[in-house]
Structure 1
Amino acid sequence: MKKLQFILPIFLVAAIAVSGCKKNDTPAPTPAPTPAVVDAGVQNTANLFQDWYLWYKDMPDVDLSTYTDPSKYIDDIRYSKDHWSFAAPLDQIMALLQSGQSGGWGAGFKFDLSDSLRIAYVYNSSPMGADSVARGWMIRSLDGQLVKDMSIDAINQELARDQVTFGFVLPDSTYKALSISKGDVVMNTVQYSHVYGTNGEKTGYLVFSDFLEPSVADLDTTFTTFKADGVSNLILDLRYNTGGLLTTADSLMSLIAGDKYNNQTYNQQEFNDKHTDANEGNQIHQKPNSLNLNNIVIITSSSTASASELVIAGLMPFYPVTLIGTQTLGKPVGMSIFQDNQNNLAIAPISFRNVNSAGYSDYFDGIPVDYTVYEDVKYPFGDPNELCLKAALNYLSTGSTGTSAAMLKSGTMPAKLLNKGTDVTVTNLYDLK
C-alpha cells in the first residue's frame, strides 16, 4: 500500500485588482473577481476524497469556499452507503489508536430486555472504573431525572455533560448515587477471558472491545494462557466491538487460525480505480501462541462492525464459524487515515472494500447470525447465566443453543449501544497512514 505520511496544505492567495481612469467620463473597467479563499483543512480533505474515496465518481460538485469545517464538507459529499468517513483532531485520533487513550465516562450504556438502562462494560482505568461501577448496574436516574421518563435524545444530552449524578440500582437491589465527572480513559480492550470445560474439551472465552495497538499485547497474553490450558474451542465475544486497526485484526486472525492456516490470505483490500496498485491481501501467520481449534462460536450484535466483521468473514472459509446473538452492523469497507499535521487533522475517507478469500464482500446489511439470542445485560461477563454465553456453551456441549423464552425474545432493545463512553469514538477505524 502506498505510504502517505504527510499531507501538505494548499493555499489559494487572494489577488486584489486595482484600476484607475484618465478622464472623468471614461467608465472604470470592471474589477477582476477576487479568488475565493478556501480553508486549508477543507482543501486537503477535498483533495484526498477526490483521489482516494472509494466512491469518488459519485461525489457531487460543491463550492469549497463555503466550508470552514472539513466534517461538514464530508457530510455533504458522502455516498449514501458511507456512514463512517470522517475528519477529526489528529492528536486525539493518534492517542486513541496508539495508546488506547481518550476521555469520557469509560463505560458503555445499553438497554436490557426490560428497557432498563444498564452499564454494559467498564474500562478499568476510567472515571467509572475508579468508582468501581460494573457491568449490570442499572441507571435509574440522571441528575435526578428518572430514565424511564426520558427520551433517547434527553438521555444522550445528559451523557454529553461533563458531570452527572448517576442514580444506580446494584444487582443486590441496593441504591447508590455517584456524582461522576468525565476524565481520562485508557481502554483495556480485553474485557474478560476465561477457560471453561465443555464435554471433556477446553473452551476459551474472550470478550474483546476494540482493535487498537495496545490490544496486540493483551491478546498475546490471553492466547498464551489459552494455549497453555489446551483450548480447542473458542467463544469470541465481539458484541460491543465497533472496529479499529487492520494490523490488530491481522494479529487476532493469526492467533485464532495461524496453527492451521499459516500464510493463507484471509482478506483482500480493493481500492478505487486510481489506486489499484495499492490493492493487497491480509495474511494469517503462525505465532507461538496460535491455537489449534475445532470449533469457533462468535457472539455478535448490531454494534459488531468493521474490523470485527472482517475477522468474522475472514474466518468463515476456514472454519465452520457459528454466530450467536443478533445481526452485525454491516461495514464491508475500510478507511485509510491520512495525517495533515499542519492543520492537526486526521482525514479518513472510505478508501477500500474488504473481500474475504471466498469472494464474500457486500454485507452492507450486516452479517446474519445462525442463532438469534438477545443478551441480558444484568449479568457480568463470564456468568454462565448470561444469555449469549449460555447459548454458546450449550451449543458447544449439545449442538443446540437452548429454547428459553428470553433467548427468543425479539424487538425490545435499541439497535446499538446508546453510548460507548469515550469522547473519541472507536468506530470503524482502520489503516493508519
Structure 2
Amino acid sequence: MKLVVAGKLTLPLAICSALLLTSCKKNEDVTPSAPTTNGEVNSWVLDNMKTYYFWNDKLPANPDTSLAPKSFFNTLLYDWNNTANTDRDRFSWLQESADDLKASLSGQSKTTGIEYNLYYRDQARTGVVASIIYVLPGSPAAKAGIKRGDIISKINGESLTATNYQTLLSGSADTYTYGFATVSNGVLTDNAQTKQVTAVVFQEDPVLLDTTYTIGGKTIGYVIYNQFIPGLYKAGSSTLDNTYDLKLDNIFGKFKQKGINELVLDLRYNRGGYVSSSTNLASLIGKNIDASKVFYTQKWNSIVTAQNDKQRGAGWNSENFLTKSTNIGANISRVFILTTGSTASASELIINGLRPFMTVTTIGTTTVGKNVGSITISDKTGRIKWGIQPITFKSANALGFTDYAGGFTPSIEVKEPSYGMKAFGDVSEPLLNEAIFQISGTRMARRAATETTTQPIIGSSLDRKAGGGNMFVGDAVPNGHY
C-alpha cells in the first residue's frame, strides 16, 4: 500500500507511504523566483486538506487565506479547541520546513540528549525544575555524565522559573551550563554541581535497553522502546533502511533463544512513529498470528475511500501481521506494557492490535488516546517549503474496536515519582517492579514508597518531539507514521 502526496496530486496515486513523500521531490526541486505569500501557502494547504483530511466534510466554507499559515491551519481543524470533545482533532499540525518535519519523524534532531519532565518546585508555583527522565546513549549529555533522575534547577547560572524556563531550555545558543538540585524528603536544594553540554544534530536509537531477568521461576524479557523508527536514511536517498527494525528482530531472537516465558514492553515515553515498525513489533509478540491475521484496519474520508475501493478493491485499508521467525508468541500467553501520559499513537496501536490475540496488561497511567493517524504532505515542486501532518484516518483492531480517544486506562495504576527516579532496568523501579510482581509474585521494593513524591507535570521535552504535544505523529499505512 503506497501513498504519494505532494501538491495538487490527483487521487489515482493514493494510499501511499508518508515516508515515500520525500521521493516526490527527487529531480523536481525548483528554486522559487519570489518568496511565497501567505495566500499561496494557505491555498496549497487547503487544497490538500480538502482531499486528504479525515474531517474534510467539516472544513469551514470560507476560510481566511490571508492569515499567517499556522493561524490559518488552526482554523481548518475539526473542533480543535473544544476540550470537552475527546474525538476532536488534537493532533494535526503544520511545520514551516517539510525537511525538518521528515527528519524529526525519523528520530533526528538537534539536542543535548536529555529528555525531561517539568515540575513546580514550590507551592507558590514560581520556581521550576527539569527532572531528567532519560538520556540518549552516546549523546553529549550522556558523555557529560548526566543521567536519569538528575534534577536541573539552573541554566547558565539562572534559576528556572515559571516565567523563564521556556526561554532558558530552548534558547538560541547551542551550549548550556546546567546547574543541579538534590531532593531529600521531598525538599529540593540547589547544589554547586554544573555540567556544560553543547547540542548537536543527533540520531536517536529507539531501543534504549533490552535485558532478561530470571525471577520466581520465570524468565522475563524486558525492552524499552522510545520511538517507532524503522532505521536510518540510506546514503544519498530520502528513504529509511530497516536498521532498527532488524535490531528488534535480533533482540526477540535472543529472547526466544533464552526461552523467555514472560515479556515486559516499556512504552512509557513512546509517542509513536512509523506504523511499519509498529506492525513489525506486534508481529514479534503476537500469539497465534501470521500474515493472514489482521493487525489493524483504517477508515479514511469518503474521497480516499471511494478512489481506493475502485482501484484496489476489498482489503486495501487493512494491515496484516508479518510472519516472523523470531516471534515469541508460542512461548508467552500475555504481555505487560508499561505506559504513561506520554504513551501515544503507534504505542496504543500495539495495545489495541494485540488484545484480540492475547492478554495485554497495562501498568502505569492512562495513555494519550490517539486512535487516528496522518500522512506527511510536502510540495513536489519545492516552491512551498512547508510540510503538513494532517489526520487522515481512524484505526481499529481486528475486532473493530476503535473507541480509545480517552486513552487506555491502566490495568494496574502505578505513578512514576517526580524526583529520585531509579535507573532503567533496576528491578526496584516502580513500573518494572510492579510488572515483575504481577509475573512472579515477588515484589522487589515497596510499591507505595515512591508515590508520595508524585506531582503534576507542567510540561515535558517530549512535547517538542515529533509525536508530542499537538504534534502527535500518525499514519496507518506501511512505512508511514502513526
User: Would you say same fold, with TM above 0.5?
Assistant: yes
1:323 partner SS: strand
- In the alignment, does 2:237 pair up with 1:194? no
Q: Tell me, yes or no, if the aligned pair for 1:259 and 1:286 is still in contact at 8 Å.
A: no
Alignment of 1:23-422 (within 5 A): 39-69=39-69, 71-80=70-79, 81-88=88-95, 89-98=97-106, 100-111=107-118, 117-147=130-160, 150-151=161-162, 154-161=164-171, 162=173, 163-169=175-181, 176-214=193-231, 215-257=244-286, 260-277=289-306, 278=308, 280-292=317-329, 293-341=332-380, 342=382, 343-376=384-417, 378-398=421-441, 404-406=447-449, 412-414=455-457, 418-420=460-462
CA RMSD, aligned part only? 3.0
2:262 partner SS: strand
Q: CA deviation at 1:225?
A: 1.8
**In terms of Rg, which structure is larger?**
1
1:218 partner SS: helix
Q: Distance in 2 between matches of 1:307 and 1:390?
A: 25
Q: CA deviation at 1:319?
A: 1.1
Q: Distance in 2 between matches of 1:164 and 1:326?
A: 32
Q: Tell me, yes or no, if the aligned pair for 1:126 and 1:184 is still in contact at 8 Å.
A: no
Q: Distance in 1 between matches of 2:367 and 2:141?
A: 27
Q: Distance in 2 between matches of 1:374 and 1:348?
A: 32
Q: Tell me, yes or no, if the aligned pair for 1:299 and 1:388 is still in contact at 8 Å.
A: yes
Q: Tell me, yes or no, if the aligned pair for 1:259 and 1:290 is still in contact at 8 Å.
A: no
Q: CA deviation at 1:370?
A: 1.0
Partner residue of 1:3?
3
Greater shift in the superposed pair: 132-141 or 402-411: 402-411
Greater shift in the superposed pair: 406-415 or 259-268: 406-415
Alpha-carbon spacing, 1:50–1:260, altered in 2? closer, same or farther (3 Å): closer
1:39 partner SS: helix
Q: Tell me, yes or no, if the aligned pair for 1:54 and 1:272 is still in contact at 8 Å.
A: yes
Q: Distance in 2 between matches of 1:420 and 1:38?
A: 30
Q: Distance in 2 between matches of 1:38 and 1:155?
A: 32
Q: TM-score, normalised by structure 2?
A: 0.75
Q: Distance in 2 between matches of 1:135 and 1:120?
A: 5
Q: Tell me, yes or no, if the aligned pair for 2:416 and 2:454 is still in contact at 8 Å.
A: no
Q: Tell me, yes or no, if the aligned pair for 1:303 and 1:328 is still in contact at 8 Å.
A: yes
2:328 partner SS: coil
Q: CA deviation at 1:55?
A: 1.1
Q: Distance in 2 between matches of 1:320 and 1:219?
A: 21
Question: Identity of aligned pairs, percent?
Answer: 26
Q: CA deviation at 1:51?
A: 1.4
Match of 1:430 among 434, 454, 474: 474
Q: Distance in 2 between matches of 1:389 and 1:113?
A: 26
Alpha-carbon spacing, 1:105–1:118, altered in 2? closer, same or farther (3 Å): same
Q: CA deviation at 1:258?
A: 6.4
Q: Distance in 2 between matches of 1:322 and 1:399?
A: 17
Q: Distance in 1 between matches of 2:437 and 2:250?
A: 27
Alpha-carbon spacing, 1:372–1:406, altered in 2? closer, same or farther (3 Å): farther
Q: Structure 2: where are the runs of 5+ without partners?
A: 10-36, 80-87, 123-128, 232-243, 309-315
Alpha-carbon spacing, 1:395–1:103, altered in 2? closer, same or farther (3 Å): same
Q: Distance in 2 between matches of 1:113 and 1:397?
A: 37
Q: TM-score, normalised by structure 1?
A: 0.83
Q: Tell me, yes or no, if the aligned pair for 1:233 and 1:296 is still in contact at 8 Å.
A: yes
Q: Distance in 2 between matches of 1:340 and 1:52?
A: 14
Alpha-carbon spacing, 1:109–1:408, altered in 2? closer, same or farther (3 Å): closer
Count of aligned pairs between the two proteins: 401
Q: CA deviation at 1:67?
A: 3.0
The letter of the residue matching 2:275 is: L
Q: CA deviation at 1:263?
A: 2.5
